Structure formats: structure tokens, C-alpha cells
Structure 1
């Protein structure tokens, strides 16, 4: 094979490799998914599901029947009366008639009052932009999308007396970090305790 043909083939292979590398660079950037396992697929789905349970009409077993059983879901934290007392501390400073009836009944019930704190989130984080700028730490752009729902359910004995639903229906955040020195930037971020 003539040397000029060899050079031409090598150049073609290098060009092909570079085009594949540059074209597929975005897919090489890292991504992550954070998800608390639940039956809800969206914030609206959670709100719709929770609308089926109502204070003074739903029992603890009824709440469990809607998939909100702390024995089966890691998204649920069981709250005892002291936890609830801390959350409702401000309610003790106002007139009883100005407090939600469910909170008032809980405070009067004392240790017969308990609750569930439910936190469900589904987030997807992925880096976008130039693979090389990201890899060499010059510019990193992370896009986070998803939703989060926070729910507080309060029971006196086994009767639901209070429900509070909140959270973030839409999470759409962009974090951009620029490091003019690229990979050398990390040297300046060394913890003080490690410098001797």
C-alpha cells in the first residue's frame, strides 16, 4: 500500500472517530435520578389521590387503603405527640377558636394524637453542554427537573382530624458553575485542615 493511501486512511479514521466523539459527547455527560418510591407519578396525581381522604371522615385504615401505610412505604415518617406539639407550637399562642379544629383536637388529646409526615419527590438531574468543558471542569451546567409533595396527616386515636398538602408542583432549576482555571481550580478549594 502506498504511503499516501495509508495517511489518507488514517486521516479518514481519525476524522470519523472525532465526529463520533464530538457528536456523542452530550450523551457521555453524567445524569442522576432521585426518586422516593410511591404510587404517584406527578404532583397533581398526589393531590388528586389525597383529595379522597378527608378529616373526620377517614380512619387510619382508610388512609392505609389509599397506599399511605408506614409499614409499606419508606416515604412516611410516624410522628408522635411531641413531634406534633413542636410543629403546632404557634397554635398554643392564639385563641382556641382561631385554631383549626383538627389541630385543637390533637392538642387536647395529648398522647392519643399522632401523625404521618409524607415526603415524596421525583427528580432528574442531568448535565448539559460541552463534554470537554465539563470534563475539564471549565464549565458545568446541571439541569434539575421534577416535583415534590409534602403531606401532614394528623390522627386522634384512629380518626384523621387534620390534613395539610404542600410541596413544589414543578421543579425546573439550572445550576451553572464556571471555573476559569478548569482542572486547576480544585487546588484552591483544598480544605484548610489538609494544608500543613
Structure 2
């Protein structure tokens, strides 16, 4: 090879390496976990749920907000026994001290049921060095998102109790380090 050809190849490699190595982070996998919902954020969910008022709102009102268990996979129907389990300690409280809606549910018996609503949107992104991640030396995963958990209790078709909670902001960092990289798990593989 001529010295000029080697020099041209060397320059090409010097230019290409930073571009290839700089793009390595984009080669790392990412994932999303999402329960289908019309809510785009925790605040959207809380605003939507604020429209319900116990002893005034009906099951039809709840369905109009997109919380129909036949159409929304985030809604679970709970029968009376499930509701009792959710409030097992409430049975020990005197009736006058118990929330009016929970008391109405207990008095209604089998006519009481509930919707448990669980919606979350999570995004997992692996960050860091592509080669360290691929060769299993170091893996860092950042999880961000939000979640909402709601309990709506009905007697017949009247909403009698609501309980809302969740995590407005989720940010978790998971870091795995294996000093021996791909050799770290060989002992368990050989033992099989």
C-alpha cells in the first residue's frame, strides 16, 4: 500500500470512530410499560377524577369519563367480598366513626361493588457505555413515569366512596455491576 492510501484510511478511521462511539448510547435498548388510558399524566387523572362526588355521581358518570371496565383495561370490577377485604379493619370501627360511603356499602351487602383502577405509564431507558452494557460489565437503567390507583365503591349504581392515590413522579435508577463481565455467570452455567 502506498503511504498516502494508509494516511487516507487512518484519517477516515479517526473521523468515523467518534461518530460510531458517540452513537453507541442510542444502540442501548429501551422499553415502555403503559396501561391504555386517556390520561397523559398524573395531574390529568386527578383532574378527571375530581369530577366525581360520592352520593351524587352515578356509574354512568364514571363510564362517561372513560372508566368503563368493558372498554378500559385499567379498570377491575370488585365484588362485595373483594371490597370487604379492602376494608377489613373498617369492620372493627363503630358504625358512627366509619366513613359514610363505606358504612353504606357494608349495609348494602351484595348490592355493593367497586372499581379498582390502576393506570401507569413507565419508560425504561438503558444509559451509559454500549460496550460495557453489551459485555455485561455495567448496566444502568433509568425508569421514569407516573402511576394512579383509585377505588370507586358503588351501592347499586350510585358512587358512595372514592379513594385516590398513586405516584405523581417516578424516577428510579438501577445499576448492575459485574467486574468480570460475561465471565461472571460462568460458574452457575458450569454447575448445571
Bin of the TM-score, shorter chain as denominator length: over 0.9
Structure-1-length-normalised TM-score: 0.93
Unaligned runs of 5+ in 1: none
- Mapping 1:63-102, distance limit 5 Å: 63-102=62-101
Aligned-pair Cα RMSD in Å? 1.4
Within-5 A mapping of 1:10-159: 10-159=9-158
Q: Give the match for residue 165 of structure 1.
A: 164
Deviates more, 1:53-62 or 1:128-137: 128-137
Q: For residues 188 and 45 of structure 1, do their structure 2 counterparts lie closer, same or farther at Cα, with a shift above 3 Å needed?
A: farther
How big is the shift at 1:97? 1.3
For the residues of structure 2 that align with 1:35 and 1:80, how far apart are their CA atoms? 26
SS in 2 for 1:148: strand
Q: CA–CA distance in 1 between the matches of 2:144 and 2:42?
A: 13
- Cα distance, 1:9 vs structure 2: 2.1
* CA offsets 1:29-88 (integer angstroms, 9 cap, x no match): 111111111111111110011000111010000110111111110000010111111111
How far did 1:188 drift? 4.1
CA distance in 2 between partners of 1:68 and 1:19 (Å): 50
Structure 1 residue 10, shift from structure 2 partner: 1.9
CA displacement at 1:189 relative to structure 2: 5.0
Give the gaps of 5 or more residues in structure 2.
none
* Deviations, residues 123-174 of structure 1 (Å, cap 9, x unaligned): 1110111111111111111111100000000000000000000000000111
Give structure 1 regions of 4+ aligned residues with deviation exceeding 3 angstroms.
none
CA–CA separation in structure 2 for the residues paired with 1:54 and 1:81? 21
2-side partners of 1:189 and 1:179: how far apart? 14
Q: Distance in 1 between matches of 2:120 and 2:188?
A: 31
TM-score by length of 2: 0.95
Q: How many residues align?
A: 192
Deviation at 1:16, TM superposition (A): 2.6
